[in-house]
Structure 1
Amino acid sequence: MKPVLCSEQIKKLETQWAEQHSGSTWSLMQQAAESFVALYASHWSNKNVTVVVGTGNNGGDGYYVAWLLQQQGAEVSVFAPFGMPDHTIDAQRAYELYCQTSAPILDQWPERTDIVIDALFGIGLNRALNDDAINLIEQINKANVEVFSIDLPSGLNAQTGVPMPVAIKADYTLSMIAYKPGLLTAYGPAYCGQLELATLGIESHSDSIFNDEWPQLIDKSGNSHKSLFGSVSVLGGNHKMAGAAVLAGHAALKAGAGRVMVHCDAHFQQVAISQAPELMVKVLGKSPLMVGENHALVVGPGLGRSVFSSGVLQEAILSAPQYGGVVDADGLRILANQMQKMTGWVLTPHAGEAAALLGITSQQVQADRVSAVKQIALKYQSVVVLKGAGTLVSNGTEVIF
């Protein structure tokens, strides 16, 4: 488990670190650059490297990386498309250090390069890029080179994972201090490539965490039997949509449930059993729900959105006020029209279903997935799993990536 921090939290940590180190973040920049070079040095052996730098401290990281590479005898040059750094920040010091070498600073894209190190924009980017920046990023993305991004791919919003409106498509990204939300959800995973973390020795804590460690869900070793592992009832598979309920039932078995009962249209019971003989079947809406402490419900896969379907959901909610289960698919569409708290339940929407639950568009959900998952959790007083690239889990306060 690793903490996930927004830009403001990162900046606060940097300020606190400076207060403890003579008021300067210069050595922190050095650590970042050294970590970056140490991690990826083997990729650059005998290759021509171009470091593309911006005018902020992300560009400063780039200048220091270029200086380190030059000291190691690498064939390196710096491309500074937007001019020199502000003289009031650490980047100026890194620029001056690099200028002491014989390596060039280019104002035009190089004729040949094998590797691009992206140090254009950092976590402070909070507005749409101008035409020059857009054209540059598109040029880099079209080049047939490996790209390594410092902290995050330039142009990617560090909070939302949305390009603004374009972003570097990196092959490798080294996030500094902590992971940022935008690296782990929305477009972030597709743009950052292989993601690594360098904490730079800074300890951080957050209500948002990245779950990069997946434990075994259920241990069935030793003297055990199915009754010890609980029961699941899947309510769905109405009319011609049995497949969704069967898949959900089979997944519950794979996850370790001891007994799984699929409540579906009577016409599809044989289909369910033929796909997974371990499943038990009942007729949807005709059998009373016997829900207890070790019994969870899954409501919605292939349920439909009729008056009958709505009744099935309400029966499930009333039958399991204490224990609950999962509401998915059509169950979420029905729930969107029945504002009620769902304490004890887990809601599992994709972007379209999340939009219905919030009364907004799916584009708005995807524009800020972290905010959306928290809003749904607070609105329904439940745990929410917002599916998609970089799935998010939230109870309204904490977020797990």
Structure 2
Amino acid sequence: MNDGISKLLLTPEEMTAVDARAADSGIDSYALMERAGEAVAATLLRHFPAVLRAAVLCGPGNNGGDGYVAARHLNESGVVVDVFQMGEPTRLKGDAARARDNFPAAPQSLESYQPRNGDVIIDAIFGAGLARNVPAGVRDVIERVNGTNVPVIAVDLPSGVDGRTGSVRGAAFVADRTVTFMTRKPGHLLMPGRELCGELEVFDIGIPSRIIHAEKKQQIAENGPELWRRALPSNRLGTHKYKRGHLVVFSGEASKTGAARMSAMAGLKAGAGLVTIAAPKDAVGENAAHLTAIMLHAIEDEAALSDWLHDERLQTFVLGPGFGVGEKARRFVALLSERQLVLDADGLSSFKDAPDELFSRFSGIPRLVITPHEGEFSRVFPDIAADTAIGKIEKAQAAAARANAAIVYKGADTVIASPDGRAYINTNAPVWLATAGSGDVLAGIIGALMAQGVPAFEAAAAGVYMHGEAGLLGGKGLTAEELATQVRPL
């Protein structure tokens, strides 16, 4: 398998276009179905050698055809096979009908399937292109199966999972393994689809890479170093601390200083040459008691910040962690509108009633990174968040275009989006990153990369990845304080 292809993400619409172009080029479409079905059968035999019966659940399209091919190969290998068809088998068309005719036994109705001990289910009802809720009869079968311990192998995607968004269309199988072909779809990586897929295998069934590249239109990818490594700063001998950038993190009041310190420490560990915490006077002492390599500067109000900004070396800032929600945050952001800014937490929530005030200040080359979790996204982009017709990728892309900013739409399936339409799905973050203060650490990492000259979107994508790697290094049970110490430059 060409890893350059298997690591791609194609939307269901793009994959449909690939299939059509392959057929138009003279490739035998039934031969492709044969290889797909063979791959599914091989997966069952490899991982479930003790199977007593293969229960193959077939849908009304080509996904069902893949199921019939798998059923035939399993039958020929000596496995007991029963096929259960959704709808009338005579309504199958084209390659799917040919696959049905080549299977030696008549199918039973899908609704009649009852799981039993020793079964392994092949879910070939719907593929990645499902764009509606599953019918009631299919939902009943899914719920019946999910209530047992019978293993499920999904063909392309677990039936009920939307291949574009990863969302569940009414109900979906919980698969032990998922077998897909040529490339993955966004629904394989987005939640809850990623969790419902179980172990994912990508099989090459013989479609030329030129066809796949020709039909890939969306700038969607899995986040990884190959996408942004060239944008990272080089480690040349002639560098010094100012060339590595000066990052400023704003602190909150005396009782809310910890978040800024975690962000600042993460920035230092991520490679910034200097890191300063800018704190109100009542928080200077509290911060000073905990700082060593991180510097401290008293900033009480707008006048003090305006005066300090005469130093042109101050170009990159993090505002939000523990800062407090309100007018002060908005006034500080106005002063920073010509600089590079990571706006997180309280800083972002300060604009919930006036998001356009924020967006209007950051025109031109993107220099703003916004890092909302689900609730913050809904407050700042309420209409986008409420649009049920689009998924997380499209929401992040729309928000990035509106704000002219890199958006880090956080969650178990964090999506990083650029105003130019690029969108990366992050997958390396362990579940234990869901801990208080984790987002503060992320903001510091992104700010440090921007301070070192990495463009906003690449800094956001690389920062999210580095954050995940730090979580993996820290292991289960880590706190945000420990997470900050695990940050390593890439």
Deviations 1:166-197 (A, max 9, x none): 11111222232322222222322221122232
Q: Is the 8 A contact 1:176 1:198 kept in 2?
A: yes
Change (3 A) 1:41 1:326: farther
Separation of aligned partners in 2, 1:291 and 1:365: 46
Code of the aligned partner of 2:22: W
Could you say which residue in structure 2 is the equivalent of 1:25? 29
Match of 1:209 among 220, 236, 239: 220
Could you say which residue in structure 2 is the equivalent of 1:154? 159
Change (3 A) 1:38 1:250: farther
Deviations 1:28-55 (A, max 9, x none): 1112222334455320212233222222
Code of the aligned partner of 2:324: G
Normalised to the residue count of structure 2, the TM-score between the two structures is 0.72
Comparing both structures, which one devotes a greater share of its residues to helix? 2
Identity %: 28
Matches within 5 A, 1:355-370: 355-360=378-383, 362=385, 364=387, 368-370=391-393
Could you say which residue in structure 2 is the equivalent of 1:386? 409
Deviations 1:46-78 (A, max 9, x none): 223322222221111111112122222234332
Separation of aligned partners in 2, 1:378 and 1:61: 40
Q: Structure 2: state its 5+ residue gaps.
A: 426-490
Could you say which residue in structure 2 is the equivalent of 1:372? 395
Code of the aligned partner of 1:208: Q
Match of 1:45 among 42, 49, 55: 49
Match of 2:373 among 344, 347, 350: 350
Matches within 5 A, 1:227-266: 227-238=242-253, 240-266=255-281
Change (3 A) 1:297 1:5: same
Change (3 A) 1:138 1:275: farther
Code of the aligned partner of 1:42: R
Could you say which residue in structure 2 is the equivalent of 1:314? 334
Q: Is the 8 A contact 2:264 2:294 kept in 1?
A: yes
**1:11 CA displacement:** 0.9
**1:391 CA displacement:** 1.5
Match of 2:323 among 277, 298, 303: 303
Q: Structure 1: state its 5+ residue gaps.
A: none
Whether 1:334 aligns to 2:350 is: yes
Separation of aligned partners in 2, 1:391 and 1:374: 13
Separation of aligned partners in 1, 2:275 and 2:235: 16
Q: CA RMSD in A?
A: 3.1
Whether 1:112 aligns to 2:117 is: yes
Separation of aligned partners in 1, 2:168 and 2:108: 30
Whether 1:89 aligns to 2:94 is: yes
**1:333 CA displacement:** 2.4
Q: Is the 8 A contact 1:209 1:400 kept in 2?
A: yes
Normalised to the residue count of structure 1, the TM-score between the two structures is 0.86
Change (3 A) 1:30 1:308: same
Code of the aligned partner of 2:59: G
| Matched residue count | 395
Change (3 A) 1:66 1:224: farther
Code of the aligned partner of 1:185: L
Q: Is the 8 A contact 2:181 2:203 kept in 1?
A: yes
After the TM superposition, list the runs of 4 or more consecutive aligned residues in structure 1 that deviate by more than 6 angstroms: 102-106, 215-219, 221-224
Match of 2:55, SS state, is strand
Change (3 A) 1:161 1:363: farther
Separation of aligned partners in 1, 2:277 and 2:264: 6
Change (3 A) 1:366 1:172: farther
Change (3 A) 1:68 1:262: farther
Change (3 A) 1:210 1:173: farther
Code of the aligned partner of 1:333: S
**1:369 CA displacement:** 1.0
Separation of aligned partners in 2, 1:273 and 1:155: 55
Q: Is the 8 A contact 2:369 2:408 kept in 1?
A: yes
Separation of aligned partners in 2, 1:105 and 1:99: 16
